[in-house]
Amino acid sequence: MNLFQVAWWNVQALRRRLLGLVAMVAVVGAVCLSAIGIASNAQGTTTSKVGESTANRSVTVDSPDGGPDTARLTEATEKRLAGIAHVESVQHRLQVSMPVRDNPEGADLLYATTYREALTPPVVKSVRKQLFPLHRGEVVFPASTHGVDLSSMLGRTVTVDAHRYVRPGVGDTVSDRVKVVGLYDPSWQFDGLDVAYADDATVVKWAAAAAGKTTDDYLRTSGWDQLTVVADSASQVPGVLKAVQRMNYPAVTLQQQLQALPGVLRLVRLTGNVLLGVLGVLAFAGAVTVTGALGRQRAQEVGILKAVGFRGRSVMGMLVAEMAIAGVVAAAAGVVLAVGASSAAAAGLRRIGDIAPYVRDAVPLPGTSTLISLSVATVVVVAAGAVLPARRAARMSPTEAMKDW
């Protein structure tokens, strides 16, 4: 008679006694699989969305403080930086004050800023689907500023007064008409407070007027107040940063500011690994307890088996096989429970705005190889926990076994 067949019959007969062990291993296993699945899903999404995003491949170069050995961020500087190896593009920023004359909401001073693709503001409302790049004379306001709601400004054409230099100590204003074509989330402050994004030509025109120069002369001598150098891959960012800094320009990267994110993900994955350790301890301890209890309760059965010729090794193998079958059932039940738990957890996390982008899968479970490995490990641990009590039961002589009963 096949040993595993006998073990399977025994498991069916003893299913009520084994239910506690199976339930405990299945529930803890489901929690572990859910935690590891969500962490892996978040890690993968982070790698694709953040790791190789334009923002994470960017190096921000600020305008120098007038040092004698450093040139301004002019058009010539922009070309020099574009020539660095592994640089995909160089995007410029220029900012100038923009008083809004006929703003009925009362927020009358904003700062016109050029748009950079690497740092696109989160638009909440717009007059068209594809808002950027902006056309000549278009601006994007913050949705609110200083507690004032600017929603009513969308689609309106307003008058702005830019400063114009005349001579030292003397200036006047240059009026211009611009159309508000979008509103962005004011919590986006990469370019500062009270920023209104405008097309390059308009911003340069106002900045040149404030400096008393023509636009061409302004870009040649004064230039931009910040440049964003975008590398062709995230792995090239450190090298590009060093090359920029060797040119004596102050530069930082968004990678340096995002270093905490992988730490958070490592913490989540560490939690999953700790839970795996807990699962192993519980499964082992449960198998030891249940097998020992069943061995004592089934002393008569063990005595009869040995009396009819079963070797101690066969009896031990049968008891261990029973626990292994219970482990298989527990592992399968854990996977089924993990599907439900992961689905519920993912649904809850997607309701949290900051976390939702990193939980894309409806059922964030680990990959097939990980599922199989963890399931096999569960069976092995449960079976290993049954070895010692099974050996103790198998060593009993038929007479001793019958006496204990």
- pLDDT by residue (tens digit) across 173-221? 888 999 999 999 998 988 988 999 999 999 999 999 999 999 999 999 8
pLDDT of 283 strictly over 70: no
Q: Kindly list the distances between the CA atom of residue 346 and the CA atoms of 17, 140, 245, 291, in Å, as whole numbers in the listed order.
A: 34, 35, 43, 37
pLDDT bracket for residue 260 (50, 70, 90) = very low
Of the candidates 201, 362, 353, 383, which has an alpha carbon nearest to the alpha carbon of residue 288?
383
Please count the other Cβ atoms lying within 10 Å of the Cβ belonging to residue 377. 17
Task: Enumerate the H helices of 47-89 as residue ranges.
Answer: 75-82
The pLDDT score that the predictor gives to residue 81 is 95
The pLDDT score that the predictor gives to residue 209 is 92
The pLDDT score that the predictor gives to residue 231 is 93
* Interval 268-274 mean pLDDT: 62
The pLDDT score that the predictor gives to residue 282 is 66
pLDDT of 312 strictly over 60: yes
Task: Please provide the average confidence, as pLDDT, over all residues in the chain.
Answer: 80
The pLDDT score that the predictor gives to residue 362 is 64
3-state secondary structure of 212: coil
Contact 295, 319 (CB under 8 A): yes
- Greater model confidence, 141 or 2: 141
* Interval 346-350 mean pLDDT: 73
11-20, 102-111, 329-338: which has the minimum mean pLDDT?
102-111
Q: Kindly list the distances between the CA atom of residue 145 and the CA atoms of 83, 94, 163, 170, 305, in Å, as whole numbers in the listed order.
A: 39, 20, 22, 30, 85
- Greater model confidence, 34 or 265: 34
Encode pLDDT of 43-89 as tens digits. 556 555 555 567 778 899 988 765 555 578 998 999 999 999 999 99
pLDDT bracket for residue 405 (50, 70, 90) = very low
